[in-house]
Amino acid sequence: AAMELQPSHGLANRVATLAAGYLCYRRGSPGRGLVLRSLRRARRQDIDDVGHKYYLELVLEDVLDKDSTVNCTAEVLYHLGSKNLAPDVQFTLEGELKNTDEADNVFYNRIRSLEKELVAENIPDSHGNVSPEMEPIRRLAWVASGYIIWQNSTENTKFHLAQIKRVKQVKRSDEYLEFDYMILLHEMVSQEIIPWQMTVLWHPQHGVQVTQDSRQPKHTSG
């Protein structure tokens, strides 16, 4: 039997944030960033010896076009006991997402035509600025961080990408683009800022992949 949760409830919102992160990872690209607009409904079911299952109705927003929203239903299962198993997430989108082939291709071609590998720091900067050339780099990080958030979430965590500290393009001989990111994740419950390294692969026809990631140690004094 599923119990109704208040959409305003902290726990429901943590689950929704996780689902949105996973979804963004699966469907996002440099030309498309998806962000949680609102949680419409949430139900929870405790399954003996398995874990906690949540049924969500979400509204997602396209970061490139605030007026473009898409409804989504998601099921999230947090496994009992196991700290190392990522939650299972399944989702269904109502309707189609905007086609982003052109934006993706423009970015792809721009990076491929660079003479030197791209390197950048602090995106956004302290004042929240992101230069237009860095917007797709940021969206790519947002999408890739969805993977890390998914892999590391529990019912008691709520992660957001806080900032890209550093990004370095890695030269490749094939058609993929590869970037090595050092990002900062903000975990809302503990309020910790967690540095995380991730290697991200992307190609317009092949989606985003995080091929390697590792949590970094925090500095002690600052």
Partner 1 sequence: QVLRIKTRNEEEVKQLQLLESLEHLELDFWINPSAAALPVDVRVPAHNVQAVKAFLESQGIEYSILIEDLQAVLDKEKEDMDYSQQRDRSSSSFNYGTYHTLDDIYAELDHLASEYSSFVSKLQIGESYEKRPLYVLKFSTGGSHRPAIWLDAGIHSREWVTQASAIWIAKKIASDYGKDPSITSLLNQMDIFLLTVSNPDGYVFTHTTNRMWRKTRSKNAGSLCVGVDPNRNWDAGFGGPGASSNPCSDSYRGPSANSEVEVRSVVNFIKNHGNIKAFLTLHSYSQLLMYPYGYKCTQPADYAELNALGRAAASSIRSLYGTTFTVGSICTTIYQASGGSIDWSYDYGIKYSFAFELRDTGRYGFVLPASQIIPTAEETWLGLKKIMEHVRDNPY
Which positions lie near partner 1, rule CB under 8 A? 6, 8-10, 17, 35-36, 38, 63, 106, 109-110, 112-113, 124-129, 156, 160-163, 184, 186, 188-193, 218-222
Residue with smaller CB distance to partner 1, 12 or 200: 12
3-state secondary structure the chain: CCEEECCCCHHHHHHHHHHHHHHHHHHCECCECEEEEEEEEEEEEEECCCEEEEEEEEEEEECCEEEEEEEEEEEEEEECCCCCCCCEEEEEECCCCCCCHHHHHHHHHHHHCCCCCCEEEEECCCCCCCCHHHHHHHHHHHHHHHHHHHHHCCCCCCEEEEEEEEEEEECCCCCCEEEEEEEEEEECCCCEEEEEEEEEEEECCCEEEEEEEEECCCCCCC
Q: Which is nearer to partner 1, 162 or 182 (CB)?
A: 162
**Least Å distance between CB 26 and partner 1?**
18
Closer to partner 1 by CB, 84 or 220: give it.
220
In the complex with partner 1, the residue whose CB is nearer, 8 or 173, is 8
Q: CB of 49: closest distance to partner 1 in angstroms?
A: 27
The minimum distance between CB 124 and partner 1, in angstroms, equals 5
CB of 7 to partner 1, least distance (A): 8
